[in-house]
Amino acid sequence: MDGWWTPLIVVAVMVGVAWAWTMVYRPLLQVRRLVKELAEGKEPSGFVARGAWGMEEVIVNLDKLSERIHGLSSRAEREKYNLRTIIGSLSEGVVITDPEGIIRLANRSFLEMFGLPSFPIGQTFMETTRLPEVARAVELTHAEGGGRSLEIRRPTPEQPEGRIFAVNFAPIVEGGSGERSGVVTVFYDLSKIRKLENVRSEFITNLSHELRTPLSILAGYLETMEDPAMLKGAERREVMEVLRRNCERLTGLVNDLLELSRIESGQVQIRVQPRRPAEILEEVRSDWKRAFAGKRVRVELECEEGLPEVNSDPLRIGQVFANLMDNALRFAPPGSLVSLGARLSGRQVEFFVRDEGEGIPDDKIGRIFERFFRVDEGRTRERGGTGLGLSIVKHLVHLHGGGVRVESQQGRGTTMFFSINPSR
Ligand SMILES: Nc1ncnc2c1ncn2[C@@H]1O[C@H](COP(=O)(O)OP(=O)(O)OP(=O)(O)O)[C@@H](O)[C@H]1O
Ligand SMILES: [Mg+2]
């Protein structure tokens, strides 16, 4: 009789233990695992949502919470990535420093501006740029807040006159607390803008110079003409000739300038057609025969056999040759030879005009395609040159997809080359 309930108790204890295991202990283990995974920033692994005393609800809510945290942190990662991509692709140099002035982020443009071999993360501005004024401005921006800017000049081995940068500094202010947590520094390279400004002012100086000479000659002679008694017969004819020549010079200058600005601003469209190089050269020779004969200069053709047809706008290529022939005529001594030719150069056809004139000094040869450049200012101006011809040539050849070059030996002569594309 006694003892019949012993198995009952055993069964009851076993049921109790099983219940406690599934409804209390296992959910507790799960809560512990979930909390640990959350704390470690891991994505929570799977779980069984069963438990006593609201345990089930705790687990479900913990899981939701972990999903939200995970979502937020991947959004933050994405935004960080976007920010890095944007900063990385800027042409300005960008550097972010922390409150201690240590560089935490820098982009590739900054690296290139300062010729750094690698990202200077963990270094200070002073170590990286060796510019004390920049390091000081970063410190002040962090300490005092507010934006500030600087202009600095930094000599480089390639540019001894230095690259010029505008540098802007802005504190990073935390949204909630308003505390300053670092500084953003942005470097703009002003060298190109400064160079353009110099080119512009040089252009205006050159232009004024060119205009002043014929204008003052005109003014002087017009004054003389106010008293007709002063001018008689041959003298009068001579004055009229000077006036006419200087008016022509002014018109030529204005026309060349207009042409250059039309080409440079892309208003000139070329209309190419296939032409045989020999045919082009023949035309040039017959156009210029008379002018060269007047100076006793022979013109010979040197056209390679079997050249392909070229893509040429007859009007524009005519203009190119007119400028080259005009120079050759001006520099070729009487009794000398001017050769006019074409040959194959890679895929392109290269035309040339060679004279036996005085040549161009080595130190000037690199500049002759610049606007207004003349080797011998005074003498060339006397001969009527304004230094615009070759820059027009260069632009017209570029419109044809070709290039220009020059070879010259002082005292021996000059060869001007330009290449254009074959039509097929
Ligand atoms: N064949 C050449 N031989 C020697 N020097 C030359 C020759 N062609 C050009 N030059 C030099 O290059 C300079 C620039 O030539 P460019 O044709 O641009 O100007 P220009 O002939 O002086 O004036 P423009 O052509 O505008 O009337 C010339 O002033 C001259 O000093
Ligand atoms: Mg010229």
For residue 387, report the distance from its CA to the centre of ligand 1, in Å: 6
Tell me if 385 CB under 6 Å of ligand 1: yes
Q: What is the pLDDT of residue 384?
A: 64
The count of domains in the chain is 4
C-beta 368 within 6 A of ligand 1: yes
**Is 206 domain-assigned?**
no
Q: At what angle do helices 191-225 and 233-264 cross, to 10 degrees?
A: 160
| Residue 323 and residue 399 in one domain | yes
* pLDDT reading at 167 higher than 60: yes
Q: Is 375 in the pocket of ligand 1 (CB under 6 A)?
A: yes
Name the residue with the closest Cα to ligand 1, atom 9.
327
Amino acid at the residue 83: L
Give distance in angstroms: CA of 372 to centre of ligand 1.
9
**Ligand 1, atom 28, residue with closest C-alpha:** 374
For residue 168, what is the domain's CATH number? Answer: 3.30.450.20
180 and 62 in one domain?
no
Task: Indicate if ligand 1 lies below 6 Å from the C-beta of 386.
Answer: yes
Is 194 within the bounds of a domain? Answer: no
Q: Answer yes or no: do 20 and 61 share one domain.
A: yes
Domain membership of residue 158 (yes or no) is yes
Residues 332 and 411 in one domain: yes
For the Cβ of 413 lying below 6 angstroms from any atom of ligand 1, the answer is no
Residue 234 alpha carbon to ligand 2 centre in Å: 32
Q: What is the mean pLDDT of residues 306-311?
A: 96
- Atom of ligand 1 at shortest distance to CA of 376? 31
Task: From 53, 83, 113, give the residue that closes a domain.
Answer: 83
Examine the domain organization and report whether 46 and 109 are in the same domain. Answer: no
Domain boundary among 45, 66, 83: 83
Q: Is the CB of 417 under 6 A from ligand 1?
A: no
Question: Tens digit of pLDDT for each residue in 351-390?
Answer: 999 999 999 999 999 999 998 888 887 666 666 678 899 9
Residue 184 lies in a domain: yes
Give the pLDDT confidence score for residue 380 in this predicted structure: 62
Percent of the chain with pLDDT over 90: 50
Considering the domain architecture, whether residues 118 and 28 belong to the same structural domain is answered as: no
400 and 288 housed in the same domain: yes
Is 380 touching ligand 1 by the criterion CB < 6 Å? yes
State whether 184 and 59 are in the same domain: no
Q: Look at residues 35, 57, 83 and tell me which one is the last residue of a structural domain.
A: 83
Supply the pLDDT for residue 46. Answer: 62
Whether residues 101 and 184 share a domain: the answer is: yes
Instruction: Check which CATH number belongs to the domain holding 295 and give it.
Output: 3.30.565.10
Q: Give me the pLDDT at residue 30, please.
A: 78
Q: What mean pLDDT is predicted for residues 50-66?
A: 74
Q: Give me the domain span that covers residue 227.
A: 212-264
Domain membership of residue 287 (yes or no) is yes
Whether 307 and 370 map to the same domain: the answer is yes
Closest atom of ligand 1 to 413 CA is 3
Query: Is a pLDDT exceeding 60 seen at residue 391?
Result: yes
pLDDT band at 142 (very low <50, low <70, confident <90, very high): very high
Q: How does the average pLDDT of the chain come out, rounded?
A: 88
The answer on 412 and 280 residing in a single domain is yes
How would you class 328 by CB atoms within 10 Å of its CB: exposed for 0-12, middle for 13-18, buried for 19 or more? Answer: buried
Q: Are residues 331 and 358 in the same domain?
A: yes
Ligand 1 mutation target, pool 254, 367, 390, most atoms within 8 A of CB = 390
Give a yes or no: residue 197 inside a domain. no
Is 415 a pocket residue for ligand 1 (Cβ < 6 Å)? no
360 lines ligand 1 (CB under 6 A): yes
Kindly identify the ligand whose nearest atom is closest to the C-alpha of 416: 1
Q: Is 323 in the pocket of ligand 1 (CB under 6 A)?
A: yes
- The answer as to whether 200 is a domain residue is no
Q: pTM for this structure? A: 0.63
